[in-house]
Amino acid sequence: MSALKGKVAVITGGSSGIGLATAKRFVEEGAYVFISGRRQAELDKAVSVIGKNVTAIRADVTNQDDLSRIAVAVKAEKGVVDIVVSSAGITEQGYIDTITPEHFDKVFNLNARAPVFLVNKLLPLMTGGGSIILVSSAMHLMGIAGHTAYAATKASLRSYARTWAAEFKDRGIRVNTLSPGVTDTPMLDSQAAGLGDYETVVGHYKSMVPLGRLAQAEEIANAAVFLGSDQSSYVTGSDLMADGGIGQV
């Protein structure tokens, strides 16, 4: 498999879940990947899982200095970036009658603000024909109680893709959102814990999905391979809904 042969990718949130699955698939398709995460132990495990062609960078993407360190490391080792995958994020519930400024800022800083400055830092390294993939969520189309901040951040990513697709039209850089449905990752554990009994919450989500099951992280990673590769060379400003139909019906 060589859909990404010779490509250099930066993947935030690459130590677990969708980010890790995407990094693994990218390497399988011939790419070299830089992954970032906040926990060194998790990064070390991810490097072991990926196996080769990977550099792990401990970084908090809400921190400007850490984002600069990512860019400096990539420039020093590879000189260019072909694909940026903004996958780091948090799912944290907050009902409007009890929402706090701290919750709002925490969710927006990681989910909506960090991707802007990630791209800002890496853009000088990007090549013509490059691809930016913003991992959004089917929830940007939906109304689910308790997700005021989260859903709004994912809608922000959809807006960025449209704006940047226009802004980068003379640079040959494509920008798209990838919007998963409910995916079986460690993040789901904390999400379900915030909403009630885990099995009840997961069962409720499954009942909403036309395919009748949760997504596997590898299925979302397959969609990311498409958006990162030349197979999607005429796709920009779009939203790829890998959601099992939950946001469509």
Kindly state the average pLDDT of the residues 208-214: 90
Kindly state the average pLDDT of the residues 112-140: 96
- Quote the pLDDT of residue 200: 78
Give the chain's domains with CATH numbers.
Answer: 8-181+219-241 (3.40.50.720)
- Quote the pLDDT of residue 145: 86
DSSP string, 158-223: HHHHHHHHHHTTTTT-EEEEEEE-SB-SHHHHHHHHHHS-HHHHHHHHHHH-TTSSPBPHHHHHHH
**Residue 26 scores a pLDDT above 60:** yes
Catalytic sites, residue numbers? 150
CA triple 23-248-158, angle to 5 deg: 55
Residue ranges of alpha helices (H) inside the chain are: 17-28, 40-50, 64-77, 101-108, 114-122, 148-167, 186-195, 198-208, 217-228
Kindly state the average pLDDT of the residues 181-194: 72
Mean pLDDT (the chain) is 93
Q: Quick count: other Cβ atoms within 10 Å of Cβ 204? A: 14
**Residue 36 scores a pLDDT above 60:** yes
Q: pLDDT > 90: what percent of the chain?
A: 80
Q: Which amino acid type is present at position 114?
A: A
- Quote the pLDDT of residue 58: 98
- Quote the pLDDT of residue 40: 96
